Amino acid sequence: MRELERKRSDSHGASGSTLPPLAVIGAGRVGRSITRAASDAGASVSLSGRRDALAASEEAEVALLCVPDESIAEACETIAAAVPPLRFVGHTSGATNLGALETASRRGARVFSIHPLQTVPDGGATLSGAACAVSGSDPEAGRLAEALAVRLGMRPFPVAERHRAAYHAAASIACNYLVALEEMAVELLERTGTEDARDLLAPLVLRTAANWAERGDDALTGPIARGDEETVERHREAIGEIAPELLDAYEALAERTRTLADRGRAASGPSGQPGEPEVAA
């Protein structure tokens, strides 16, 4: 406890230039990545599993629960006995409301959340430069969440509690569904007898992603963008023949692509010529 008091004396609180001592609870991919980023930034941080969560929280002013969504409330109940001296309790879930931290809140802790808008495939993921959704139970908790995100090298932005599920759905579409979509393309190409399909498609995928980041829906190319429905019909026939289980997904994506193409043509006005030749897929 003397060590904690010493660290507190060096701390300037949630809105100061340094962060209070941080206990990261949960040694999975997110927990390890956050601990590494905090340590690299010179923050006072410890990492522990849920078995040692209470002891770690008693030596910190901020506890950050990096556990599965369904385990947040239980983990919070475990560390609630550390409030006080524990002052802030947060989680890293994108879809879970702050209500999951009610046990700590009832004991007087301010609660918050940070959710890195970044894919974290392993414990060494780089968070620097990523956006980060933040929320807090009160202004001080919100400032703490923002300060923590900035210290980890991220760009914080607020997400209202009522919109957390929609926010997380957007993140899942951008990340998880992209992987599913590209694997769909790989599977289809492999069924034509082509080897190394992922390596062949990767440059197209990466360039398209870069174009989208720079230009939004103006990056759309291909047969639907140029109004070539005959080619789309040939797509349907080919998929129905060699990968019929992918046809429903193709149809749904084609319909959404038409909506984007129609929007782009409407925005471009009479001069927009969807039939202009193009090289890209």
Asked if the peptide bond before residue 84 counts as cis, ω within 30 degrees of 0, the response is yes
Which helix (H) or strand (E) segment holds residue 71: the answer is none
Among 13-17, 20-24, 130-134, 178-182, name the one with the lowest average pLDDT. 13-17
Query: Residue 170 CA to chain centroid, in angstroms?
Result: 9
pLDDT at 269: 60
Decide which of 2 and 96 is more confident.
96
Task: Evaluate whether 77 touches 50 at the Cβ level (below 8 Å).
Answer: no
pLDDT at 125: 84
Task: Give whole-number Cα distances, 112 to 81, 100, 141, 167, in Å.
Answer: 18, 10, 6, 16
Query: Residue 207 CA to chain centroid, in angstroms?
Result: 21
Q: Cβ neighbours of residue 51 under 8 Å, at least 6 residues apart?
A: none
Domains within the chain, CATH numbers bracketed: 2-159 (3.40.50.720), 166-271 (1.10.1040.20)
Task: Indicate whether 205 pLDDT > 70.
Answer: yes
